[in-house]
C-alpha cells in the first residue's frame, strides 16, 4: 500500500489508532504505509486516510449508519468507497471476492465518524423547494 497525499494529517492518526481488529469478518494485518489499514490474507479490505476529498458528485452516494459513502464500481470486483464530506478524505477498497462492501463500511463507520464532516449527500428531492 501507499500513503495518501495527506496521510500525515493529525485527524488520520485519530482514525488509525481506532481501527478494528476485524472488518467484514477479516482479521487486521500489518501495513507499511502511514495512515493505512488492511484486513484479510489476501487483503479483502484496504483503507487509506488522507486522500483528497471529492467535491460535489453525481456518483452513487448512500448513508450507512450515519456515514455518507460514495461508491465507485468501475473496477468491479474491486469497489472503492469514499467517506463523503469528511476531511481529510478516507477511502476504503473492497475486493468483493473476499469481503462484503456493506459489511466493511458498517464495521468502519465508527472510526470514520472521527473525521470532521464538511458536507453530506443530497438527492434531487433535497434540492427542490416544495
27-79: pLDDT as tens digits: 999 999 999 999 999 999 999 999 999 998 889 999 999 999 999 999 999 99
pLDDT level of residue 5 (50, 70, 90 thresholds): very high
Q: Total structural domains in the chain?
A: 1
Question: Is 114 inside any structural domain?
Answer: yes
**This prediction's pTM:** 0.91
**Residues of the domain holding 23:** 10-120
Residue 130 lies in a domain: no
Domain presence at residue 106: yes
Percent of the chain with pLDDT over 70: 94
| Sequence-separated (6 or more) residues with CB below 8 Å from residue 5 | 50, 51, 52
Q: Sorting pLDDT into bands at 50, 70 and 90, what band is 122?
A: confident
Q: In this model, does residue 126 exceed pLDDT 60?
A: no
Pairing of strands 22-23, 78-83: unpaired
Residue 129 lies in a domain: no
**Would strands 61-64 and 45-51 be described as parallel, antiparallel, or unpaired?**
unpaired
103 grid coordinates? 459489511
Is residue 1 in some structural domain?
Answer: no
Per-residue pLDDT tens over the stretch 99-115: 999 999 999 999 999 99
Domain contains 21: yes
> Residue 5 falls within a domain, yes or no?
no
- 2 located within any domain: no
Amino acid at each position: 500500500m501507499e500513503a495518501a497525499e495527506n496521510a500525515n494529517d493529525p485527524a488520520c492518526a485519530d482514525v488509525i489508532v481506532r481501527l478494528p481488529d476485524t472488518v467484514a469478518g477479516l482479521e487486521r494485518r500489518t501495513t507499511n504505509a502511514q495512515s493505512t489499514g488492511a484486513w484479510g490474507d489476501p487483503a479483502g479490505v484496504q483503507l487509506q486516510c488522507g486522500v483528497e476529498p471529492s467535491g460535489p458528485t453525481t456518483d452513487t452516494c448512500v448513508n450507512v449508519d450515519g456515514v455518507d459513502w460514495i461508491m465507485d464500481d468501475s473496477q468491479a470486483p474491486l469497489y472503492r468507497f469514499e467517506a463523503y464530506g469528511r476531511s481529510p478524505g478516507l477511502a476504503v477498497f473492497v475486493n468483493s471476492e473476499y469481503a462484503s462492501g456493506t459489511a466493511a463500511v458498517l464495521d468502519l463507520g465508527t472510526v470514520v465518524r472521527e473525521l470532521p464532516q464538511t458536507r453530506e449527500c443530497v438527492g434531487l428531492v433535497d434540492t427542490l423547494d416544495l
